[in-house]
Structure 1
Amino acid sequence: MGAADEQDLEDGEGWLTKAEVREIWPQIRPSSIRAVARANSVRTSAAPSPDLTHEPTYHAADVRHVAARIARVEADVAPWQRADSDAARDDATPGPPVRQPVSWRPGNVPGLILLAIIVGLILWGLTSPDNHGTVTDFVR
């Protein structure tokens, strides 16, 4: 760490990871941190973050400045990017359950066998010769 880096840390400067920014910006959804930082001109470092997530690191002074603007509702933040908005609550509410497609699982086999038997009996009943000619009369 050089003298300039130490001076930056003493002045409240330096670089913060996404996790650290999340602690400073609890009102912002984690998935929106990068977009909010970009919209509010927070400087980012091109160097890889120390936690190896390939996320950029954010300039600490800029993050703190934007935190104050977020608290005063002056920052450029869309409603869906806020963790405390109606849109965020709507995303958090579970939707209807997703129906799984019918498959050849062991639990479905008895029902499929019964369906095949019923279809077979219907077809056999329509084509049997003792049907008094109803099928052949219908076709003609």
Structure 2
Amino acid sequence: MGAADEQDHEDGEGWLTKAEVREIWPQIRPSSIRAVARANSVRTSAAPYPDLTSEPTYHAADVRQVAARIARGEAEVEPWQRADSAAARDDATPGPPVREPVSWGAENVPGLILLAIVVALMLWGLTAPDNHGTVTDFVRR
């Protein structure tokens, strides 16, 4: 631990996770916390993420300063980044489900092979001159 980190811990300061920042900034949408922190010069940790996510930790003193600026309306926050904006309410309204496009990816290979075999057998059965032992051929003998 560096001297600055030790000083932060002694002062009751330190680093906050995204969940902790969400509690301090309830007016900010969870998906916008990183952008609002960047726009307002909140320091983030360069250390590996403690909870194995891709989210950095945020400097507690900076977060609290920005919280006061948000309350006063002085912070750099776009309207769509606010949880109490019309854009946030519009996003919260469920829209129609989005259909995923059909892909020819690796997960579909077994089904495609089976389909190819079925089609090949059908074509083979239709094009053969003796119909390969159908019921009518069996009855005639």
TM-score per shorter chain, which class? 0.5 to 0.7
Distance in 2 between residues matched to 1:99 and 1:28, nearest whole Å: 30
What does 1:93-132 correspond to in 2, within 5 Å? Answer: 93-96=93-96
Residue in 2 that maps onto 1:9: 9
* Residues 33-88 of structure 1, C-alpha deviations (whole Å, 9 max, x = no match): 00000000001111122111121111110000000001111100000000011110
The aligned amino acid for 2:86 is: D
User: Taking structure 1 as reference, are residues 37 and 99 closer, same or farther at Cα in structure 2, changes over 3 Å only?
Assistant: closer
Q: Could you tell me how far 1:7 is from its partner in structure 2?
A: 2.9
In our comparison, the structure showing a higher alpha carbon Rg is 1
CA RMSD of superposed structures (Å):
2.2
Do the aligned partners of 1:48 and 1:55 also contact (CA within 8 Å) in 2?
Answer: no
Q: Which runs of 5+ in 1 are unaligned?
A: 102-140
Residue in 2 that maps onto 1:54: 54
Please give the TM-score of this superposition, normalised by the length of structure 2. Answer: 0.63
Residue in 1 that maps onto 2:87: 87
Q: Which runs of 5+ in 2 are unaligned?
A: 102-141
* Residues 110-134 of structure 1, C-alpha deviations (whole Å, 9 max, x = no match): xxxxxxxxxxxxxxxxxxxxxxxxx
Q: Could you tell me how far 1:15 is from its partner in structure 2?
A: 0.9
The alignment status of 1:41 with 2:41, answered yes or no, reads yes
Number of corresponding residues: 101
